Amino acid sequence: MAEDTEINNVIDFTEHKLLRLESDAAHAGNFNLALAIGEALTRYKEGSVSIYFKDGSPYVLMPEPDEADYIPEEDIEDNT
């Protein structure tokens, strides 16, 4: 039970930094950047991407595509 309490007390500084960058971009009028940061934050919280910082700038790391999800182009139906 103590472990659960310790884990719940961990602060995710990546999330806080992205929220701050999103707010700063919106206040500066750079709404496209704010939307992009917000989308990255959403995906980060879902666990579908990783975020790392280099020289203070965030970078999104996308997972490698799973070969099991690959559909050859010739198998895709054309519904036009």
What are the tens digits of pLDDT across the range 8-22? 777 889 999 999 999
Nearest to 47 by CA among 6, 1, 14: 14
**Can you tell me whether residue 79 is helix, strand or coil?**
coil
Report which DSSP code applies to 28.
T
In this model, does residue 1 exceed pLDDT 50? no
* 41, 13 contact by CB (below 8 A): no
Q: Tell me the pTM.
A: 0.68
What are the tens digits of pLDDT across the range 48-77? 999 999 998 999 998 877 665 666 666 566
In this model, does residue 44 exceed pLDDT 90? yes
When pLDDT is cut at 50, 70 and 90, the band that residue 27 belongs to is very high
Mean pLDDT to the nearest integer, 19-38: 97
